[in-house]
Amino acid sequence: MSKKIFSGVQPTGNLHLGNYIGAIKNFVSLQNDPNNFCIYCVVDLHAITVKQNPFELKKNIRETAAAFIASGLDYKKSIIFNQSLVPAHAEGSWMLSCIARMGWLNRMTQFKEKAGKDKEKASVGLYIYPVLMAADILLYDATHVPVGEDQKQHLELSRDIANKFNLDFDSPNFLTPPEPLIQKNFARIMSLKDGTKKMSKSDPSELSRINLNDTSDQVLNKIKKAKTDNDPLPDNQNELSKRPEAENLLGIYSSLSDQPLNTTIKEFSGQNFSSFKEKLADLAVHKILPISKEINKLLKDENFLDNVLIEGAEKANQIASEKIKQLKKIVGF
């Protein structure tokens, strides 16, 4: 079955192994299936829901585009663009924010986490962020959205918004409720310092994550210092649920070597962490270093990156502006 794929990544710096394994790696395999039509967006409108330094933001937009390309996305096969170049996203987001209910947004756990204790001081943008995400997806009639586990609730909201719009305006099937594509064992890559916490750009400890632009020494050092427990590696998956650090590191190894988790468990069963970590570090350097080098090479050619984004935005704009036109007609404008 042919799929229409849409996904996005925020240009907030420090793209890490969680973004790569949970999302970008999957973007590439979806793109390489000729049945799929793929659109990948650098979601800069989402980024400004928390304060950004304008100079850094510009740099991070290019860096995210570079990370997409360095990881294997091909701007000739997929549409690659940044969100703020296509006005339909902001316009669609407004219209859908009149469909979404406060009660639905109040349940969003990511807002609660990001807003922290002082919700009153969070931006309104941060609160309605999932509605912008729904607009991103629904404007392109995306059928499937590859994301990590943390975005699952936002996708359910996108489905609710699509269904309510279709019902309210008696326009069945106008908006397509999207299906999440979440990889089974690798949807939540955890911090290298705490196997119960998600690997995240906002973690103050650099040792908690491997960044896509780390040097080989940094990758080796971070894996060497990654938290472990005292037992040898287990021989079955059930035992992993009680050993979050072992589960995370074996998961990372499996994803990077493109083999099922069970195969990795068998490969290392009974071994101690130090020998496993050596193999993991070799593999991570082997996989990450070419990406890191390519990102740095691409960043030297700002014109090239800007042109990829502009040309992608022209293609995206054709699709999204047509959908907005239809949306306006349905709403009565």
Question: Which lies closer to ligand TYM via its Cβ, residue 57 or residue 232?
Answer: 57
Amino acid of residue 289: L
Counting contacts by CB under 6 A, is residue 261 touching ligand TYM? no
Q: Pick from 4, 5, 13, 19 the residue near ligand TYM by CB under 6 A.
A: 19
198 is catalytic: yes
Question: Which lies closer to ligand TYM via its Cβ, residue 148 or residue 234?
Answer: 148
Q: Pick from 5, 6, 75, 162 the residue near ligand TYM by CB under 6 A.
A: 6
Q: Is 125 exposed, middle or buried (0-12, 13-18, 19+ CB in 10 A)?
A: middle
Q: Pick from 66, 133, 219, 250 the residue near ligand TYM by CB under 6 A.
A: 133
Counting contacts by CB under 6 A, is residue 84 touching ligand TYM? no
The least CB distance from residue 183 to ligand TYM, in Å, is 9
The least CB distance from residue 30 to ligand TYM, in Å, is 12
Footprint of ligand TYM on 142-201 (CB under 6 A)? 145, 147-148, 150-151, 187-189, 198-199
Query: Cα–Cα distance between 256 and 123 in angstroms, integer?
Result: 37
- Residue 171: which H helix or E strand, with range? none
Pinpoint the alpha helices (H) of 226-272: 237-240, 244-256, 261-268
The least CB distance from residue 6 to ligand TYM, in Å, is 6
Q: Is 207 exposed, middle or buried (0-12, 13-18, 19+ CB in 10 A)?
A: middle
Footprint of ligand TYM on 226-245 (CB under 6 A)? none
Pinpoint the alpha helices (H) of 20-151: 25-31, 44-47, 54-70, 88-97, 102-106, 109-115, 124-138
Which residues 6+ apart lie within 8 Å of 103 measured at CB?
Answer: none
Query: Which of 198, 277, 287, 323 is an active site residue?
Result: 198
The least CB distance from residue 66 to ligand TYM, in Å, is 15
Could you tell me which stretch among 131-139, 165-173, 232-240, 284-292 binds ligand TYM (CB under 6 A)?
131-139
Query: Cα–Cα distance between 110 and 91 in angstroms, integer?
Result: 23
Query: Which of 201, 227, 279, 315 is an active site residue?
Result: 201
Phi/psi for 38 (5° steps) reads -115, 140
The least CB distance from residue 323 to ligand TYM, in Å, is 15
Query: Which of 114, 152, 279, 315 is an active site residue?
Result: 114
The least CB distance from residue 41 to ligand TYM, in Å, is 7
Phi/psi for 221 (5° steps) reads -65, -40
Counting contacts by CB under 6 A, is residue 208 touching ligand TYM? no
329 is catalytic: no
Which residues 6+ apart lie within 8 Å of 200 measured at CB?
Answer: 16, 18, 191, 208, 209
**Strand positions, DSSP E, the chain:** 4-9, 37-42, 79-82, 144-146, 179-181
CB 192 within 8 A of CB 226: yes
Number of residues that bind ligand TYM (CB under 6 A): 24
279 is catalytic: no
Q: Annotated catalytic sites, by residue?
A: 114, 198, 201
Residues in contact with ligand TYM by CB under 6 A are 6-10, 18-19, 22-23, 43, 46, 133, 136-137, 145, 147-148, 150-151, 187-189, 198-199
